[in-house]
Amino acid sequence: MQPSIQRIGAVSRLTTKAAFRFKLIPWLLLTIGLAITTIPYLIRHDGTAEMFARVQLSYSLIVAGILLAASTLWLSCGILAQDIEKHYISLITSKPIARWEIWLGRWIGIFALNSALITLVGIGVFGILLLHSKKLSPEEQKQLNQVVLTSRTSVSEEPPDEEKEINLLFERRTENMNIDLANESRIRERLKEEVRWMNQLVKPLYRRIWSIPIEKKFSNKNNETLQIQVKFYSSPDAEITSFPMTWLIGDPKSPTRWEKNLDLTPMTTHEWSIPANLITPDGYLNIECQNYTDLTIVFKIEDGLRVLYKDGSFLANYCKALLIILSWLGLISALGLWAATFASLPVATFLISTIFLVVGSGGLFELIATEGTISTYNEDTGKGNWNYLDWLLVPLFTVLYQIVEILRSISPIDRLVTGQSIQTQEWLAYLTLIGSMLITPFSFWGMFLLTRKELKGN
């Protein structure tokens, strides 16, 4: 086992030296350095903490991530493809080393390079963020520390028991009717939509009350703050763009409850801070919204109202986000090496780029997976019109849809910009899924292909 590790380590060191020999690393560092230092000057912000963070964190990390992904794809496809095309691998395999050790050594070498590069990028972006944050006003600096440079978890109201409401409505409306199974299914689907909308609507001059379960550790802390995050929708034909509302937070019978009139715009995420001592002794935060307009507004159950509170440090959250980006780079390098075992550099690069474009069209995968057909969907029967290719393509697109959903389940940059926590358990599960379901299968597949490949000069 020890000689095998030494051989793999030797190949990984050769990979690192090759990256420097190609002058990839110096030019990449120069390009990324110029990008993250000039972005704050090229893109102006309005002076608010949220826009400042979006420019400093979001744009800088996105540009650096794109550059790292492109260089990883080029290096992983090029280094192995060159080994095969120029018969360097025949020279390597003349030594006592297995082909799978060569493949694994190449991947580890690229992964080590990316680890060093992502560390430098993380330090650079964070340092520039702290440097430029001193230019903000004192109020915005305080807001920056409260809503961005932090790690907050969110809680929302427990979803209502819609099934119970659906059953009550169904019994009431079909009491004297004979309903067959097919019609019952359609009626229940319509009732489900009706119940969901009724639970989300706030009619004119009506109110909406939430009772949010918050951990009791915040109930008696006068120096702690919580953030209320609100997003609502209205009719697209509404003539007004600002909706006056009254918000009451805390115990309705308490004279210290929080009360404020706010003019909010629809389809926009609004956020404000409140003291944590508004939480009741049993750990609940009571929130009431009064709609004083003559229009109906909608607070969706999934993102209508959330309460955010601090549960960790920004630095730990930042490191978790960088490791997620590193796992994506590890996946790209595995795909590049896999493609390079059977294709030349241009073909392998084109193939992986096409895969990324196809995976990016997640909406198509979702549509086929939910409708169960690649053909048209029949609204009357609630089923898709069967196609002779469905038996093959529907399971394939369903698997691809599940993979895309896994990759999209955590957006590290969005979490950082909004100050939302990446929970450790969620983070470990995400990395485990990417490693076990994506990187490992393609790695074994690539090692198998290289082992079975007939090499000239052998």
pLDDT tens string 103-121: 999 999 999 999 999 999 9
Label residue 144 by pLDDT band (50, 70, 90).
Answer: confident
What is the C-alpha to C-alpha distance for residues 394 and 21, in angstroms, rounded to an integer?
46
pLDDT tens string 271-317: 888 888 888 877 888 899 988 888 888 888 878 888 888 888 889 99
- pTM of the full predicted structure? 0.81
Q: What is the CATH number of domain 200-312?
A: 2.60.120.260
pLDDT tens string 212-241: 888 655 544 555 788 889 998 887 777 777
Q: Tell me, what amino acid is at 41?
A: Y
Q: Given this model, what pLDDT does residue 364 score?
A: 66
Q: Given this model, what pLDDT does residue 220 score?
A: 47
Does residue 180 carry a pLDDT above 70?
Answer: no
What is the C-alpha to C-alpha distance for residues 24 and 380, in angstroms, rounded to an integer?
58
Q: Which of 41, 36, 76 is nearest to 57 (CA)?
A: 36
> Using an 8 Å Cβ cutoff, are 154 and 420 in contact?
yes
Q: Given this model, what pLDDT does residue 183 score?
A: 65
Does residue 386 carry a pLDDT above 70?
Answer: no
Q: Determine what percent of the chain is predicted with pLDDT higher than 90.
A: 21
Cβ-Cβ contacts under 8 Å for 313 (sequence gap 6 or more): 150, 151
Q: Given this model, what pLDDT does residue 177 score?
A: 65
Label residue 376 by pLDDT band (50, 70, 90).
Answer: low
Cβ-Cβ contacts under 8 Å for 142 (sequence gap 6 or more): none
Q: In the block, which residue shows the tokens 């995976």?
A: 359
More confident residue, 188 or 331: 331
Q: Which of 272, 271, 267 is nearest to 298 (CA)?
A: 267
Mean pLDDT over all residues of the chain?
Answer: 82
Q: Residue 414 forms beta bridges with which residues? A: none
> Which of 251-260, 423-432, 436-445 has the weakest average pLDDT?
251-260
